[in-house]
Amino acid sequence: MKKVLILALTLVLALGMMGGSFAFFTDVETSTGNVFTASTLDLLVITDGVEGSPFGTHGATMTETAGGNAVNGFVVFNDLSGYQASGNTGDHGFIYWTITNIGGMTGSLDMTYTRALDDDNGINEPEDWADGDFDGSDGTPGGDLGAHLRIRSEADLDNNGSYETLIQNGGGEGEFVAGYPLGVPVEKLSNIVLNPGQTIKVRFEFRFNADIGGTGVDDNIIQTDTLQLDVNFELLQNAD
């Protein structure tokens, strides 16, 4: 055993000496400054206009709160009613959004609506009487605006000024917000390809009928009621 160990040591020393006795040509090239930078996926959503009609004739108002680089701006419509100014149209209004991919890579855009809140927001006397009883209730457990307010939205996917794509369900008149389950996002646009720099536009409309619902329901059931609809735009990196 001892002999084997000694032999091994000798071999190593001999190799070392051989290495030191040769001269080699050498050349070295170094690639420095290799940098890896992730691309960007960034969505810019601008609320670029609101419009209402026949606002101003009976006190309805709208206020627009600007957002940052996201759809965190919002619009508040107050004191709405089914007031009939002309024809058979009650209060209605529009919100316009411009959506641009300001990142460096292509993404897929999804858009969802969420009925976030639909609340009685207090019950006044006429509202209480809507169900024929002065009992502190209007006869429905939650708010009633969602069941009497239609929404309709369209997209201009090629940004040519024409809103060619209907993105709501329920036909030309639009759909009642109450059709959305409370608190659950409902997808309205999906997998819309947005290249870097590409823009699309979305026009959102809400509308009361002059006789809300038109189903024999006392219109007073919506007095003071409040409704919140959240709109979410999400840009996802494309798989390819």
Residue ranges in contact with Ca ion by CB under 5 A: 120-121, 127-128, 131, 133, 135, 137-138, 140, 144, 221, 224-225
Residue 127 near residue 223 (C-beta atoms within 8 A): yes
Closest to Ca ion by CB, 219 or 225: 225
Name the residue nearer to Ca ion (CB basis): 120 or 175.
Answer: 120
Pair of tokens at residue 6: 């000694």
Shortest distance, position 89 Cβ to Ca ion, whole Å: 22
Q: Which of 225, 226, 217 is nearest to 129 (CA)?
A: 217
| Residue 103 identity (one-letter amino acid) | G
Q: Which is nearer to Ca ion, 68 or 141 (CB)?
A: 141
Of 156 and 225, which has the nearer Cβ to Ca ion? Answer: 225
For residues 121 and 159, which CB has a smaller minimum distance to Ca ion in the complex? 121
- Give me 137's structure tokens: 């209730």
Minimum distance, C-beta of residue 135 to Ca ion, in the bound complex (Å): 5
CA distance 22 to 33: 34
Mapped onto helix, strand or coil, the DSSP state of residue 48 is strand
Taking the complex as a whole, how short is the minimal distance between the CB of residue 149 and Ca ion, in angstroms? 12
> In angstroms, what is the minimal distance from the CB of 147 to Ca ion?
9
Minimum CB distance to Ca ion, residue 105 (Å):
47
Under 8 Å between Cβ of 129 and 157 = no
The distance of closest approach from Cβ of residue 107 to Ca ion in the complex, given in angstroms and rounded to an integer, is 41
Q: Which is nearer to Ca ion, 128 or 156 (CB)?
A: 128
3-state SS assignment for residue 220: helix
The structure tokens listed for 205 are 């409309």
Nearest C-alpha neighbor of 130 from the set 216, 32, 229, 237: 216
* Contacts for 133 with CB less than 8 Å, ≥ 6 apart: 139
